[in-house]
């Protein structure tokens, strides 16, 4: 369930948390909107950033402040399954998944279509679940090292979700090389991008 969906759901604990902590945001948003209109956009130094991907990663980090169901319920899980063969064998390993295939309910139910036994994608989600169980990020900020690891996981989850929403695209970091392990995939995430998430 996306963060936006939580905010629209009147019964959502996430929505209730936001309303309790920030009961009167109208004056704040009015002031912020006025300031934004007068400001100029500046791109930070360092590696090229994709704002939507970083925004998605921040969404995932916010989610992990709350108790979560299995990673298999995430939209990123569906995208990871669609991209798994390409991640391990290169972008041209399989044809791009069609819109009809992306909407196939069997992908959402079982998470097995295009998902080889074992492999980097399986390893990624198993290690993510193990990390979450060990560190328990719900309701707190972690120490710097585990928080950095979680930021990398969140960035990759955002990349997987993009595949689910729009299909695989060859310029994505997911497909720029053949990954042999989950660790190698996480290490491919730029420190600049991680810093953006940590500075949330």
pLDDT tens for residues 10-44? 888 888 888 888 888 888 888 888 888 887 765 55
pLDDT at residue 112 is higher than 90:
no
* More confident: 123 or 110: 123
Would the pTM of this model clear 0.85, i.e. be above it? no
136: alpha, beta or left, given left = phi > 0 and alpha = psi -120 to 50? Answer: left
In angstroms, rounded to a whole number, what is the distance separating the alpha carbons of residues 131 and 183?
13
In angstroms, rounded to a whole number, what is the distance separating the alpha carbons of residues 151 and 171?
21
Maximum Cα–Cα distance for the chain, whole Å? 53
In angstroms, rounded to a whole number, what is the distance separating the alpha carbons of residues 168 and 184?
19
CB atoms within 10 A of CB 21: 8
pLDDT at residue 69 is higher than 80:
no
Residue 13: per-residue pLDDT: 86
Tell me the C-alpha to C-alpha distance, in Å, between residue 128 and each of 23, 114, 164, 177: 34, 20, 19, 21
Nearest to 121 by CA among 167, 98, 73, 88: 88
Tell me the C-alpha to C-alpha distance, in Å, between residue 33 and each of 8, 21, 26, 56: 21, 20, 10, 22
Candidate from 108-117, 143-152, 171-180 with smallest mean pLDDT? 108-117
pLDDT at residue 60 is higher than 50:
yes
Q: Would you place residue 118 in the very low, low, confident or very high pLDDT band (cuts 50, 70, 90)? A: very low
Contact yes or no for 184/156 (Cβ under 8 A): no
Residue 103: per-residue pLDDT: 43
* More confident: 155 or 94: 155
Q: Would you place residue 97 in the very low, low, confident or very high pLDDT band (cuts 50, 70, 90)? A: very low
In angstroms, rounded to a whole number, what is the distance separating the alpha carbons of residues 109 and 96?
21
């Amino acid at each position: 369930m996306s963060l936006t969906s939580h905010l629209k759901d009147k019964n959502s604990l996430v929505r209730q948390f936001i309303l309790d902590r920030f009961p009167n945001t109208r004056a704040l948003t009015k002031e912020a909107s006025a300031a934004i209109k007068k400001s100029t956009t500046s791109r930070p130094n360092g590696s090229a950033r994709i704002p939507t991907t970083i925004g998605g990663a921040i969404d995932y980090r916010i989610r992990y402040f709350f108790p979560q169901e299995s990673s298999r319920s995430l939209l990123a899980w569906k995208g990871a399954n669609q991209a798994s063969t390409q991640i391990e064998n290169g972008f041209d390993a399989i044809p791009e998944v069609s819109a009809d295939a992306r909407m196939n309910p069997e992908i959402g139910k079982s998470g097995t279509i295009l998902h080889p036994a074992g492999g980097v994608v399986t390893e990624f989600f198993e290690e993510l679940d193990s990390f979450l169980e060990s560190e328990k990020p719900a309701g707190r900020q972690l120490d710097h090292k585990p928080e950095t690891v979680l930021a990398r996981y969140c960035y990759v989850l955002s990349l997987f979700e993009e595949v689910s929403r729009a299909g695989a695209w060859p310029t994505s970091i997911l497909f720029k090389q053949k990954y042999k392990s989950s660790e190698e995939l996480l290490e491919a995430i730029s420190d600049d991008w991680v810093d953006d998430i940590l500075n949330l």
